[in-house]
Structure 1
Amino acid sequence: MIEWIVANSWVTWLVVFLILAIIEMMTLDLFFIMMSSGALVALFAALLGLPFWLQVVIFCVVALLMVLFVRPVALRHLRSGPRDLATNVDRLIGESAMTLESVTDHSGVVKIGGDTWTARSADGSAIPAGQRVSVARIEGATAVVTPQRTDGPLPAQ
């Protein structure tokens, strides 16, 4: 069995590459794709006819370099995107809203865009109905809001 793996090492590296790529598709943490890059380079080394021990060294070195140097840059790039790419509730943070009912540190209702949310005050102050607020964060299904400085209440939305 070992002799066949060494003699057909390109098949071994192709299988390792595919298995690692499939695991990456399931985990999406950019670790196994870096490992599969090492297997792909080792596959090319096998096709060039390099000895098996050198293929293993190439796999280890390339995978290690990818994990240490490329993965952190890729993760940083994926996590830092423009505000337009924010999704779900992350998009609501910083948005302007209007209080429909008085908002206290325990209860209240605000309208963010076209949606009605339960709300509470971030600093514990009471905010009367009809006032403009800013969404500081979202905790579960509750918008935590802070008052905005305006000259008066907003018109009804």
Structure 2
Amino acid sequence: MDEWIIWVILAVVLGVAEIFTVTASLGLLGAAALLAAATAAIGLPVPIQLLVFALSSAAGLIIVRPIAMRHLRQPQLQRFGVEALVGKPAYVVREVTGRDGRIRIGGEEWSARAYDESLVIPIGATVDVMEIEGATAVVYPRE
């Protein structure tokens, strides 16, 4: 069996293993095996093939892998719009019950209702926004 075929088989095995591990290591080793297959296909001897495999593997693992891992780990996406209001404190400007009320969140007035329908939250209380339903903030009083 030709040497380049062995290198290609090794590259395929490493590529398939990379699919299951998602570490960006085995895929780079598979790419190095393809480079070694190319050197074997042009007729270079086995020691040169091994040297090409070793050098390209080392370069991939030392240089390419850290860059790939940095791109895989993206920062947490920031919340925008009404999603950003969930978890924020608010100030009650009109008594909040299980049906209605008014609060001020960061300078904006919102209609509100209590998270627990049996609660009555007085004017001046501080509440936490639990969720936003349409244009109404669902709130819970701070202890």
Distance, in Å, in 1 between the alignment partners of 2:30 and 2:70 is 20
Q: Which structure's CA Rg is the greater one?
A: 2
Count of matched residue positions in the alignment of Structure 1 and Structure 2:
100
Residue identity in the other structure for 2:19: M
* 1:34 counterpart residue number: 28
* 1:132 counterpart residue number: 129
Pick from 75, 84, 93 the counterpart of residue 95 of structure 1.
84
* 1:155 counterpart residue number: 136
Q: Please list the CA deviations of residues 40-86 of structure 1 after superposition, one character each: whole Å capped at 9, or x if unmatched.
A: 100100111000111011101101110000000011012126838xx
Distance, in Å, in 2 between the alignment partners of 1:44 and 1:53 is 14
- TM superposition score normalised by structure 2: 0.58
- The equivalences for 1:1-157 within 5 A come to 4=1, 8-80=2-74, 83=77, 95-97=84-86, 100-101=114-115, 128=127, 131-132=128-129, 155-156=136-137
Runs of 4+ residues deviating >2 angstroms: 80-84, 98-102, 131-134, 154-157
Identity %: 23
Task: Return 5+ residue gaps in structure 1 as ranges.
Answer: 85-89, 103-126, 135-153
Q: Please list the CA deviations of residues 109-133 of structure 1 after superposition, one character each: whole Å capped at 9, or x if unmatched.
A: xxxxxxxxxxxxxxxxxx64xx436
